Structure formats: structure tokens, C-alpha cells
Amino acid sequence: MRTVVIGGTGHIGTFLVPSLIAQGHEVTVLSRGQRSPYGPGARRAWTGVRTVEADRQAEDAAGTFGERVAGLDAEVVIDLICFSEDSARQLGAALAGRVRHFLHCGTIWVHGPSAAVPTTEDSPRRPLGKYGIAKNAVERYLLHEMNVRSDGALPSTVIHPGHITGPGWVPVNPAGNLDVGVFQDLADGRRVTLPNLGLETLQHVHAADVAGVFLAALANRSVAVGESFHAVAAGAVTMRGYAEAVARWFGRDADLAFLPWERWSQTVPDDRAAVTWSHLTHSPHCSMEKAGRLLGFRPRHSALDATAEAVDALVAEGRIAPAGA
């Protein structure tokens, strides 16, 4: 099918676009042209992709982005970089009645803090922060407004990833932020202090598995339209368990200490503490049962598998020194 991927040169697109090409899709990627897909497989696949440079933010402001995408005459549109309801509405109005399937990339942060776990897609929503609130509004528009219109509906599916990781970028670390030094301290056997008792959870997902949920939704359109699906590893990990696993990867026993949040947050820069606080307050643990039941999809990577691959890549790049180096 003629398929447009908006923001297709990022983490998800690096795995998604080659698979679309392999399945025979005629792929057009819209991006700002500021990033290239990484990995030799992605670069080889890119030779079969039409690329179109577009500054979505500027074109949204000008009111032209929706018609730009509609003019590509796609049967399928996959939007990986929509972050506001206004942006979604502009694109949705332009595509209504003109595409066979529209897929939007959301986030598990639409749920807010975990209550009963694992959290299912139909759990009550209590989103926290601008990002989760905005993504929840986009989903509500796509699934509860556009899918029930009789004057040219937009058949939509929403995919909600967890903490996307894999080779090519820094995964969220056991302290709940992006400080590579936490991994280095665990590799070197130095003490790492975690907030509270280290029992809040993270739920990483390999970018290849996120791409896999999108592909499974495309392949099962009849049950995917009008639905949302999580894209996470099969289980969550506690920050403490994650830290202990990282230390083992380097042949160490983790030397961990713990401080109440009020004291711990004073030991790191404010911006780092803010990122950690977001992860502590969400502590996601989401279910993959729906994707397995309706789409036949089960993630290949556990949360620790996904982060281990990312950490191995950081070691290969020289950003983390192996133990004893």
C-alpha cells in the first residue's frame, strides 16, 4: 500500500520503515531532514523510500500541514510526531474520508500513576503533566470523535509505547533519568543512591517491538480500527532490580543506598530530578494482553533485554567504560 510515515527517521521509524519496505509498501517519509536512520539495515532499506522534508511545527502554524500530507495520496498514514490536539485536528480534518487506516503514536503516560496493575488500555485515565494530558486529548479526538463520524470518518488506531530504548540512544537509567554516569558507577562498583526504596517501576520497550505493534495493527485492521494498544515489554522492572541487573552485566554486585525523595532530589541537578520525579510518579506497569489477543503480537524483548542492548551499544561507542578499563 501507499504508506506515509510522519517522523520516520527516529527511533521507531528506524525499525518500522525497513519492515514496511520488506512487506511491499510504497513508503514516503516526512521529516525535517535533521536526522538519518541509524544501523546498516535501516540505511540500506532507505534506498527504496521517498523522503520529503517538512517542518511540521511551522506548517501547523501556517495551517498547511494537513493538506500537505493529504496531497501525498496515501492509503495508510502513520503519525509518529503529533504532540497536540490542535495538530491532530488539522491533520484529521484533511485526511477524513481519504485514507484507509490512520495510526497515531501515543504514550503510556496517558494513564498517569499505576493503580491496579498491570494497567489495561481501558483503565480510568488520570494523565499527569502536559505531555500525557495532550496525548490523552489526541486519543480522545481520534477514537471518540473521528471514528464515529458518518461524513468521512478517519479509521484510527493509537499505539502507546513505554520507555522506548535500544541501540542508538541512552535508556532511562535505574535512577529514572538519562544520566549515563549512573551506568558507569554500577559498572565500576561504586555506590549508587536511589530515591525512596527503589521500588517504583519502569517499563522499557525495544523500538523494534514498538514497530512490531504498528505492523500488527496494520495487518489486523478489522480489529485494530477504533482501538488503542500498549507497546511495552511484557513486564515492568523496579528501579532497584534494574540497578542490580546492570551491575551484574559488568560482573559486579550492586552497591545501593536509598534516600527519601526530599533528600535524594537535593543530590542531583534540578532538571535531572524533574525527569526522575516524572518516572517515579507514573511508575508504569502496563498490560500487553490486548495486543496479544487481538493482534497476535507479543514483544520479543523483555525490559532488561532492551536496556542491555542499549547499554552494550553505549559501551561499544565508548560512552561507558567496561569494568576494569
| 214 three-state secondary structure | helix
* Per-domain boundaries in the chain: 2-163+205-231, 167-203+237-284+303-316
pLDDT (0 to 100) of residue 128: 86
What letter does residue 110 receive in the DSSP assignment? G
Q: Report the alpha-carbon distance of residue 263 to residue 128 in Å, rounded.
A: 23
What letter does residue 217 receive in the DSSP assignment? H
pLDDT (0 to 100) of residue 168: 84
| 165 three-state secondary structure | strand
CATH topology agreement for domains 2-163+205-231 and 167-203+237-284+303-316? no
Taking 50 as the pLDDT cut, the residues of the chain under it are 150
Fold of 2-163+205-231: Rossmann fold (3.40.50)
Contacts 24+ apart (CB under 8 A), 121-127: 121/160, 121/227, 121/228, 121/229, 121/230, 121/287, 121/290
323: left (phi over 0), alpha (psi -120 to 50) or beta: beta
* Grid cell at residue 237: 522492572
Question: What's the number of CA atoms in the CB half-sphere (13 Å) around residue 136?
Answer: 18
* Grid cell at residue 267: 543530590
CATH class of 167-203+237-284+303-316: alpha beta
Establish whether the linkage from the previous residue to 118 is cis, with ω within 30° of 0: yes
Question: What's the number of CA atoms in the CB half-sphere (13 Å) around residue 309?
Answer: 16
